[in-house]
Amino acid sequence: MLIELIDVSYTYENKAPHERRALNNVSFKVEKGEVWGIIGHTGSGKSTLTEIMSGLIKPSGGEVLLHGEDVSKLKNPMSKIKGKVGLVFQYPEHQLFEETVLKDICFGPSNLGLDEEECIKRAKEAMELVGLGEEYATLSPFELSGGEKRRVAIAGIIAMRPEILVLDEPTAGLDPVGRDMLFKMLGDIKGKLCESIVFVSHSMDDVALYADKVLVLNEGSVLMQGSVKEVFERSGELEAAGLDVPQVTRLLIRLNEMGHSFDKTLLTPEAAADAIYERLKG
Amino acid sequence: MLRDITIGQYYNGKSFVHSLDPRCKIIALAVMMVLIFTAHGVVDYAFVTVLTCLFIALSRVPLSYIVKGMKPVWLIVVFTAIINIFMGSGEEVIFKAWVLSVTKEALFSAFGMMLRVILLVTVSTLLTLTTSPMVLTSGIERLLKPLEKIKFPSHEVAMMMSIALRFIPTLTEEAEKIMKAQAARGNDIEGGGFLKKVKGMIPLFVPLFVSAFRRADELAMAMECRCYQGGSNRTAFKRLEYKKCDTVAFLFMLTVVIITVIYRMVGFLL
């Protein structure tokens, strides 16, 4: 197991007037090789959870175990987690600041105390993984397009070679093509650099297609967690909490209501199309 | 930590102070500032302190909210106090060490300075806490109107001020986000020496400036899309009107001023 959260709670602004419980006894663990999707409404605590995982904020209660060691009670959890859990924020392109793309990507690794040669090596490797060619290295990050900037920002995190890559709404503001490319890229990264990926998303379809496991948050508490199939099978509960189910699932449920009997745990449009085709054929 | 800055924020509530006309409140603030600045002597200090406390009570803004707003100015307050304690002159020496000496007069003046800064910040915070930025702008604009005779762009100035005020919370939020994003990349501004701290600020300031310019650009575009054109012949959606409570407030401030003037005249003459 890479990282495990046990009964983690978090309260914003411990003192009045704005006390707000962001997380309530959340427990879940990420194993090696897993891709987790975290879904929930705005304000359900998704972003807070990512910040706790990466050690940016300390939980008000509970434990965060990294390789079995509790890091939540440390005075500076960052020092232990640094480089092990990489967090890509929402709209990460807003954090770029260096003169050139290469220098910006080197910022993370150099903060890990690596020498220049190693930083550049890692930066180039990261650039290749996110699909930025050599010619980008000397450009200013501010002259790039939005999608390219985002890839630079992600490269800046993966150049630190984190074991777990955590992304907060990585597809926000991207078109469908950009979204597909991003997830394909994440697949490449997972195979080569990071062992696990956790991403926050609004889109059930993204989660159904790209995640192995799902954590559903509702008002700071875990509504359900498990494999994608297990979670989307309980579509009734999801809808009761005001959350969507993937479009494919919705279609299959509708067909079942009309008297057919499809396996509603089919998650990709292709698999569903095949099943329907088979049925039509006879 | 940055979130604690309440200067320029509006506290939504219903109270006597909230319902006052912005012009009335701005004038009252100006009067209060003069009173606070010119105060010296125990009676003066007590008087302005009581007045400020009265305003806080009338505004029904929780005290904790105002105290939190003081946080960023604490350093200035303490700094002024220290300078005043050691630099002041006077006869009654209480404490002496090396070239530094503390006199009773200096101690008193340091206390006065501290009190002044705290009260000044409190009353100005109170204005923005009880007046929404839009209303505040129209108040400022209306008060500056007479200056248009000498080609002073009162509307534009008021608009700039309100935009600046409006963006304080937005930019602090943004700064906090960028701070976290860079911390996630291992940027460390807590530890290390002065030079390292300054170096750690670059990754914060560059993106913050970039985003401030981007926001300004977007705002300008959005305003132009809605055909915004400076101040000439603009009418207001919500027109300011003096109400009974404004008269009450004006009379109260007038009484305060008269009392102060009489008290100081008497003190001067005796």
The string of pLDDT tens digits covering residues B1-53 is: 455 555 557 788 888 888 888 899 999 999 999 999 888 788 889 999 999 99
| Complex-level ipTM | 0.83
CB contact under 8 A, A95 and B187: no
CB contact under 8 A, A94 and B178: yes
pTM: 0.73
Strand partners, A200: A38, A168
Task: Please tell me whether residue A207 adopts helix, strand or coil conformation.
Answer: helix
* Nearest Cα residue in chain A from B65: A17
In this predicted structure, what is the pLDDT of residue A117? 93
Domain presence at residue B215: yes
Is B236:B158 a contact under the CB 8 Å cutoff? no
Is A249:A238 a contact under the CB 8 Å cutoff? no
Residue A16 pLDDT greater than 60, yes or no: no
Domain presence at residue B5: yes
Q: Which of A17, A108, A160 sits opposite B65 (nearest CB)?
A: A17
Chain A partners within 8 Å of B202 (Cβ): 97
Q: Are residues B219 and B245 located together in one domain of the fold? A: no
In this predicted structure, what is the pLDDT of residue A17? 53
Of A123, A83, A86, A132, give the one whose Cα is nearest residue A103: A123
Domain presence at residue B224: yes
CA A84 to centroid of chain Cα atoms? 15
CB contact under 8 A, B203 and A83: no
Looking at every residue in chain A, the average pLDDT score rounds to: 87
Domain presence at residue B265: no
Cα–Cα distance for residue pair B185/A82, rounded to 1 Å: 8
Q: Are residues B62 and B120 located together in one domain of the fold? A: yes
Domain presence at residue B267: no
Cα–Cα distance for residue pair A265/B210, rounded to 1 Å: 46
Chain B partners within 8 Å of A77 (Cβ): none
Cα–Cα distance for residue pair A140/A155, rounded to 1 Å: 15
Q: Are residues B95 and B179 located together in one domain of the fold? A: no
Domain presence at residue A11: yes
Residue B186 φ then ψ, to 5°: 90, 10
Cα–Cα distance for residue pair B240/B134, rounded to 1 Å: 12
Chain B partners within 8 Å of A19 (Cβ): none
Q: Are residues B201 and B245 located together in one domain of the fold? A: no
Q: Are residues B15 and B66 located together in one domain of the fold? A: yes
Q: Chain B: nearest CA to A39, how far in angstroms?
A: 21
Binned average pLDDT, 10 residues per bin, chain B of 270 residues:
59 85 91 89 89 90 82 83 77 69 80 89 88 83 87 85 82 89 82 76 90 92 89 73 86 90 82
State the count of interchain CB pairs (< 8 A) between A and B: 61
State mean pLDDT over A230-241: 85
Residue that wins the pLDDT comparison between A252 and B100: A252
Chain A partners within 8 Å of B64 (Cβ): 15-17
CB contact under 8 A, A56 and B185: no
CB contact under 8 A, B177 and A56: no
CB contact under 8 A, A56 and B65: no
DSSP-derived secondary structure letter, A135? G
CB contact under 8 A, B186 and A83: yes
Domain presence at residue A112: yes
Q: Are residues B224 and B242 located together in one domain of the fold? A: no
Cα–Cα distance for residue pair B67/B63, rounded to 1 Å: 6
Q: Chain A: nearest CA to B196, how far in angstroms?
A: 12
Domain presence at residue B159: no
Q: Chain B: nearest CA to A90, how far in angstroms?
A: 9
Q: Chain A: nearest CA to B185, how far in angstroms?
A: 5
Helices marked H in A159-192 — which ranges? Answer: 176-192
Q: Are residues B132 and B245 located together in one domain of the fold? A: yes
Domain presence at residue A92: yes
Task: Please tell me whether residue A245 adopts helix, strand or coil conformation.
Answer: coil
State mean pLDDT over A220-230: 90
Q: How far apart are the first and last CA of chain B?
A: 50
Structural domains in chain A (count)? 1
- From chain A, which residues contact B within 8 Å (Cβ)? 13, 15-17, 51, 54, 56, 76, 78, 82-83, 86-87, 89, 92, 94-97, 107-108, 111-112, 142, 156-157, 160
Domain presence at residue A247: no
Mutation to test the B interface, candidates A47, A88, A97, most B Cβ within 10 Å: A97
In this predicted structure, what is the pLDDT of residue B192? 67
Chain B partners within 8 Å of A18 (Cβ): none
pLDDT digits (tens, 9 = 90+) for A96-150: 999 999 999 999 999 888 899 999 999 999 999 998 999 999 999 999 988 899 9
Q: Which two tokens stand for residue B130?
A: 């009880």
Domain CATH number, residue A172: 3.40.50.300
Residue B101 φ then ψ, to 5°: -140, 145
Q: Are residues B146 and B55 located together in one domain of the fold? A: yes
Chain B partners within 8 Å of A54 (Cβ): 184
Task: Please tell me whether residue A255 adopts helix, strand or coil conformation.
Answer: helix
CB contact under 8 A, A94 and B210: yes
3-state secondary structure labels for all residues of chain B = CHHHCCCCCCCCCCCHHHHCCHHHHHHHHHHHHHHHHHCCCHHHHHHHHHHHHHHHHHHCCCHHHHHHHHHHHHHHHHHHHHHHHHHCCCCCEEEEECCEEEEHHHHHHHHHHHHHHHHHHHHHHHHHHHCCHHHHHHHHHHHHHHHHHHCCCHHHHHHHHHHHHHHHHHHHHHHHHHHHHHHHCCCCCCCCCHHHHHHHHHHHHHHHHHHHHHHHHHHHHHHHHCCCCCCCCCCCCCCCCCCHHHHHHHHHHHHHHHHHHHHHHHHHHC
Chain B partners within 8 Å of A142 (Cβ): 210
**Minimum mean pLDDT among A84-93, A192-201, B100-109, B243-252: which range?**
B100-109
Domain presence at residue B13: yes
In this predicted structure, what is the pLDDT of residue B105? 80
Residue A13 — very low, low, confident or very high, per pLDDT cuts 50/70/90?
low
Q: Are residues B1 and B34 located together in one domain of the fold? A: yes
Residue A214 — very low, low, confident or very high, per pLDDT cuts 50/70/90?
very high
Domain presence at residue A256: no
Strand partners, A12: A20
- From chain B, which residues contact A within 8 Å (Cβ)? 3, 62, 64-65, 174, 177-178, 180-188, 190, 202-203, 206-207, 210-211
Cα–Cα distance for residue pair A90/B102, rounded to 1 Å: 54
Residue A56 — very low, low, confident or very high, per pLDDT cuts 50/70/90?
confident
In this predicted structure, what is the pLDDT of residue A19? 59
Q: Are residues B86 and B201 located together in one domain of the fold? A: no
CB contact under 8 A, B187 and A156: no
Maximum alpha-carbon separation in chain B: 68
Q: Are residues B247 and B201 located together in one domain of the fold? A: no
Q: Which of A17, A108, A156 sits opposite B64 (nearest CB)?
A: A17
CB crowding A113-149: b at 16 or more within 10 Å, else e: ebeeeebbebbbbbbebbebeeebbebebeebeebbb
Domain presence at residue A241: no
Chain A partners within 8 Å of B184 (Cβ): 54, 56, 86-87, 89, 157
Domain presence at residue B52: yes
Domain presence at residue A150: yes
Domain boundaries, position B38: 1-153+238-256
Q: Chain A: nearest CA to B186, how far in angstroms?
A: 5
What separation in angstroms does the CA of B181 have from each of A96, B177, B206?
A: 10, 6, 13
Name the residue type at position A229.
K
Q: Are residues B117 and B66 located together in one domain of the fold? A: yes
CB contact under 8 A, A97 and B203: yes
CB crowding A200-225: b at 16 or more within 10 Å, else e: bbbbbbbbbbbbebbbbbbebbbbeb
Domain presence at residue A263: no
Cα–Cα distance for residue pair A92/A123, rounded to 1 Å: 17
Residue that wins the pLDDT comparison between B72 and A7: A7
Structural domains in chain B (count)? 2
Residue owning tokens 């008193």:
B108
Q: Which of B3, B178, B186 sits opposite A108 (nearest CB)?
A: B186
Residue A18 pLDDT greater than 60, yes or no: no
Domain boundaries, position A71: 3-227
